Amino acid sequence: MLLAVLSGFLLAAFAPLLTRMAGKSIGWLLAVLPASLTVYFASFIPQIQGGDALLIEYTWMPGLDISLNFLLDGLSLVFALLISGIGTFILIYAGSYLKGHPNLNRFYVIMLCFMASMLGLVLSDNLITLFVFWELTSITSYMLIGFNHEDMDARKCALQGLFVTVAGGLALMAGLILLAVMTGSYSLHEILNSSEALGSHGLYTAALICILAGTFTKSAQTPFHFWLPNAMAAPTPVSAYLHSATMVKAGVYLMARLNPAMSDGELWGQVLMLFGGATMLVGAYFAFSSTGIKKVLAYSTVMALGTLTLLIGVGTELAMTAFVCFLVAHSLYKGALFMIAGALDHETGTKDITRMGGLRHKMPMTALFGCLAALSLAGLPPLFGFIAKELLFEAVLEAPFWSTAATLAAVVSAMLVVGVAGLVAVKPFFGKPGNTPKDPHDAPLGMLAGPAVLSVIALLFGLLPFIPQNAVLLAAMQAVYGQPIDTYLSLWHGINLPLMLSGVSLLAGIGLLTLWPRLQPGLYAVNTAASRFGPEAGYFKVMEGITHIASWQTRVLQNGVLGMYLLIMVAITFGLTGYTLITRYGLHLSLQLGDSHFYEWGIALLLVVSAVFASSTHSRLGSVASMGVLGFAVALTFILFSAPDLGITQLLVETLTVILLVLVLFKLPEFVNLSSPFERYRDLTVAVFAGVVMVLVVLATLDIQYFESISSYYIENSAPLAYGRNIVNVILVDYRALDTLGEIFVLSLAALGVLSMLKLKAEDQHKP
Amino acid sequence: MESLMAYVIGILFAAAIYMMLRRSIVKMVIGLILLSNAANLLIFAVSGMKRGAPPLIPEGASAPLGPVADPLPQALILTAIVIAFGVLAFAVVLIRRAYEIVGTDDLDQMKDTDT
C-alpha cells in the first residue's frame, strides 16, 4: 500500500527522462502506472464490499504520534478508484493534447506528484499525514494552474487558487488538531469508532468552523467559489482532473469522512445545507450565463460541489445514497466533458461556444461521446446521472428540515443544468456551422479514449446500476452514514414526485436553452456589474491591504539606517534579559569593598576613566590613546590575577591596535557630531540601561554556581598526558587544537582580506 | 574584587554600546574595541579572580602545588583577543577602503548599496 501511494512520486522522478526517450507515446507509457493502480485498488473490492475497513500500518514518527497508516474502506476506495482510473485517461489525453509542448516533461512530473498526493490524502488514516497530503495537492495544483508561467494571467490565477486553498488549509490544520484534542486521537478510524458525542463538547463549534473553512475553500463553496473558474487558466487535462474530478472533491471527501463523527451536532447539518444550497444555485446560475466552454463547465462543477455538500448536510440514509451516486456520476461525466471541451478547443482554436456550431459532421466521434456525457450531466435516462439526480430529489424531499427550500434550490439548479448541458452539447455539435479559427477534424485517439470510456461507463452504470452498487457504492454509503445501509439502486422508480420534478426541470431547461441567445447579453451585463461587489472583489481588497501593510512595515523596520537596527536589537536583547533576570532572580546590587587592594582600585578607576574618555572626547588622537590606556589596564588586570599569558598577548595586541588605528584612521575625517542631541540622549539611555543589565548579570553569575568547573580535568592531566606545564597553552594546542587551527584560518583569511584590499587600492591608482 | 569588576564591566559595556550607536564609522570601530575588551573582562571576572596563582605546573611535579586560577576561561579569552584583533584589522582596512570610495564616514549616508 505504501508503495502504491508513493509510486507516483517515484515515477515523477523519472518522468523527464522517460519523456525524452518515449517521444510521442509518452502518455500511453506513463498511464501504465495509474492503470495498474486501478487494478490494484480494485483487488481490494472483495475485502471491503461488506462494509469492513482495512487498516494498513506503517510507523513514521512514533515519538510525535504521527504514523503512515492507511485506512481503506468504501469511501476511500471509491475515491482511490476515481483518482487512478480517471488519472489513467488524463495522462493519455495530456500526451496528445500537449503534444510537442516544450515543458511536457515538467507537466508529467507535477501531474504524477499530484496523483500520488491525492491518493495519499484519501487513504491516510492519520490526521497529520492527511493534512500533509492535503497541502501537497494545493501546491501541485498551484504549479499546474500556472503551468503556462509566461502568461501573467495564469500566474495570477494560480496565486489566487493557492492563497484561497492554503488559507483554508491553515484553518483546517487548527481544526484537525482541535478534533484530535476532543477525541484524544489523531487516527481517523479511532475518531470514527469512538462512541463519544462530539456535538456537546465545548470545542465542537470551534473545530467545526476551522474544518469547514478548510473544506469550503478547497471545494470552492460560496463565497470562496471564485478561484475555481479562474483555475481554468490551466491546460485542459489539469482542469479535467484536478478541478472537476479529484482535487476539488478533497473538501467533500473530508466532510463525508468526518460526517459520522461530526453530524451529531445540529450546526453541522445546518451549515452544510446552507452553504451547499447557496453554492449549488450560484454555480448553476453562473454556468448558464457564461460563454467560455471551460468556464461553463467550471461553474457547473461549483454547482455539483454545492450539491454534494448539501447532501452531506441533509444527512439521511437516502441523502448518503444520493451523495455517493452523485459523486461518481459527476466525476465520470465532468471528466469526459472537460476532455471533450479540450478537444473542441484544440480542433477549432476557440473556447467561445457562440462561435461553434454544427460540428457533428466534422467531429462525429467527439460529438457522440460529448452528447452521451452531457445527457448524464442533464440527468436524463438511461445514464447514471439520471439515477443520481432522482436520488437527489428524493433526498431533499425527505430532508428532516428546510426540505421545501432545498427542493426548490435543487429543482432550479437542475433546470439551469439542463440548459448548461445543452450549451456544451447541442450548441457546438448541432445547428448552423460556426465560424471557427481552425478547420476542425475528429480528435485523435489519445484525446478520445478518455471521454469514450468514461461516458460508456456512465451509460453502463445507468443501465446496470447493481454492478457499482454491489462492488463499492454500498460500502461507501455505509462509510459516510456510519451505519449499515440497505438500499437498491435502479433506473426506474415508477411515476413519483421526483420523476415529475425531473420532467418539470427538463422542460424548463429546454425552454431556457432556446432563450439563451437572447438572455445571454443581458446576463453578461448583470454579471459584470455585480462582479464589483462579489467575493472576488473582496479577495483583491484583502490582497491590496496586505501589500500596503507590508510596504508600510518595510518602511518602518527595514529603513536601511544601521544605527536604528542596532538600537532596536540592543534594546530588545537587554530588555528581555533584564526582565528575565529580575523576575527569576530578583534585584540584588552588592559591592564588597574590603577584598580589593588599593592598586586594584587604581586599575579599575583607570579602566573606567579611559573608557568614558574614549567615548566622550572630540579628539581622534585622544580617543585612540585612551583606547591604548584601556588595553594596557586590561593587560595589568590579567597579570595581577594569575593570567600571565593573557597579559602578554593583550600587551602585544594592544600595541599593534594602536599603531594600526593611528596609521589608518588618520586618513579619515575628523570627529564631528553627526547626531542631534535627542539622538545622543536616546542612545545614551539605551547604552546605560544595557550597562546596568550587564552589572546585574555579572553579579548574579557570581552569586549562583550551577555547575562544577570542568577545569580540574585539564589541571590534573596536563602534565601526565600532554607533557606540558603551562596549562593554558596545553589547552590551546592540545586539548582544543582544532579550535586553534580554526583560529589560525580566521586570522589568515583576515590577513588575506587586508592584503587584497590594500592591493586593490594600488591598482585603482594605476587607472587614469 | 569581582563585584568591583562587575561595575567596571557595566560601564565598559555602556560606553561600547554608546559608541557603536554613533553614526561616524570610526567611533563605531572604537565601540567595537571597547566591546571586545568588556567581553573578555566579563569572562575573566565571572570565572573567579585569584591573585598570584597562575595555572602553571612546577618542574618535576605532575600537578600544580595547591589551587590555581581556572585555566579554561583563560584559554578562551586568549582565543578571543587574537580573533578580535583579526576582526579589527579587517574592519579598519575595510572602513578606509569604503571611505575612499563613498567619500563619507557617516553610516547613514552609506545605507544604499549602489554608490
Q: Which three three-digit cell numbers place residue A179?
A: 478534533
What number is the ipTM of this complex? 0.93
B91 interfaces chain A, CB cutoff of 8 Å:
no
By the 8 A CB rule, do A294 and A351 touch?
yes
- pLDDT at position B112, please? 61
Task: Write the pLDDT tens digit of every residue in A397-421.
Answer: 988 888 889 898 899 989 888 988 8
3-state DSSP call for residue A126? strand
Distinct helix (H) and strand (E) counts, chain B: 3, 0
Interchain pair A668, B53: CB under 8 A: no
B23 interfaces chain A, CB cutoff of 8 Å:
yes
Element at A67 (helix H, strand E): strand A66-67
Element at A72 (helix H, strand E): strand A70-72
Residue A200: pLDDT band with limits 50, 70, 90: confident
Question: In terms of C-beta density within 10 A (0-12 exposed, 13-18 middle, 19 or more buried), how is residue A768 classed?
Answer: exposed
Dist. CA A617–CA A636, nearest whole Å? 24
Can you tell me the mean pLDDT for A585-596? 79
Interchain pair A690, B64: CB under 8 A: no
The rounded radius of gyration (Å) of the Cα atoms in chain B is 20
The mean pLDDT of chain B is 86
User: Among A601, A606, A710, A711, which would you mutate to test the B interface (most chain B Cβ atoms within 10 Å of its Cβ)?
Assistant: A711
Dist. CA A389–CA A414, nearest whole Å? 8
Nearest chain A Cα distance for residue B101, angstroms:
10
Q: Which of A377, A218, A219 is nearest to A293 (CA)?
A: A377
Alpha helices in A349-402 (DSSP H): 364-378, 384-397
Dist. CA B103–CA A760, nearest whole Å? 17
Say yes or no to pLDDT of A762 above 60.
no
Paired residues of B24 in beta bridges: B106
Lowest mean pLDDT among A8-12, A445-449, A526-530, A580-584: A526-530
- pLDDT at position B115, please? 46
- Closest partner residue to B93 (CB to CB) among A691, A694, A754 is A754
Backbone angles phi, psi at A661, to 5 degrees: -60, -45
Interface of A with B in 544-573 (CB under 8 A): 560-563, 566-567, 570
Task: Write the pLDDT tens digit of every residue in A660-684.
Answer: 888 887 777 777 777 788 888 999 9
Contacts of A691 in chain B (CB under 8 A): 10-15, 17
By the 8 A CB rule, do A379 and A491 touch?
no
Q: Which three three-digit cell numbers place residue A673?
A: 557630531
- Give A552's contacts (C-beta < 8 A, 6+ positions apart): none
Interchain pair B77, A687: CB under 8 A: no
Lowest mean pLDDT among A53-57, A505-509, A594-598, B15-19: A594-598
Q: Say how many CB pairs under 8 Å bridge A and B.
A: 280
Can you tell me the mean pLDDT for A346-365? 84
Say yes or no to pLDDT of B103 above 50.
yes
- pLDDT at position A768, please? 46
- Give A13's contacts (C-beta < 8 A, 6+ positions apart): A109
Q: Which amino acid is at A391?
A: L
Q: Which of A579, A610, A590 is nearest to B15 (CA)?
A: A610
Nearest chain A Cα distance for residue B98, angstroms:
10
The mean pLDDT of chain A is 88
Can you tell me the mean pLDDT for A141-145? 93
Q: Which of A52, A123, A56, A55 is nearest to A474 (CA)?
A: A52
- pLDDT at position A444, please? 86
- Closest partner residue to B82 (CB to CB) among A649, A672, A725 is A649
Crossing angle of the two packed helices A445-463 and A364-378, in degrees rounded to 10: 40
Interchain pair B70, A641: CB under 8 A: no
Q: By CA distance, what is B104's nearest residue in A?
A: A669
Residue A211: pLDDT band with limits 50, 70, 90: very high
Q: By CA distance, what is B26's nearest residue in A?
A: A665
- pLDDT at position B80, please? 92
**CATH code at B2-50+70-111:** 1.10.287.3510
Contacts of B95 in chain A (CB under 8 A): 664, 668
By the 8 A CB rule, do A237 and A93 touch?
yes
Say yes or no to pLDDT of A530 above 90.
no
Write down the domain spans for chain B.
2-50+70-111
By the 8 A CB rule, do A730 and A722 touch?
yes
Interchain pair A567, B21: CB under 8 A: yes
Contacts of A694 in chain B (CB under 8 A): 9-10, 13-14, 38, 42
- pLDDT at position A118, please? 94
Contacts of A758 in chain B (CB under 8 A): 93
Residue A381: pLDDT band with limits 50, 70, 90: confident
Say yes or no to pLDDT of A422 above 80.
yes
Say yes or no to pLDDT of A554 above 90.
no
Say yes or no to pLDDT of B37 above 90.
yes
Contacts of B24 in chain A (CB under 8 A): 671-672, 674
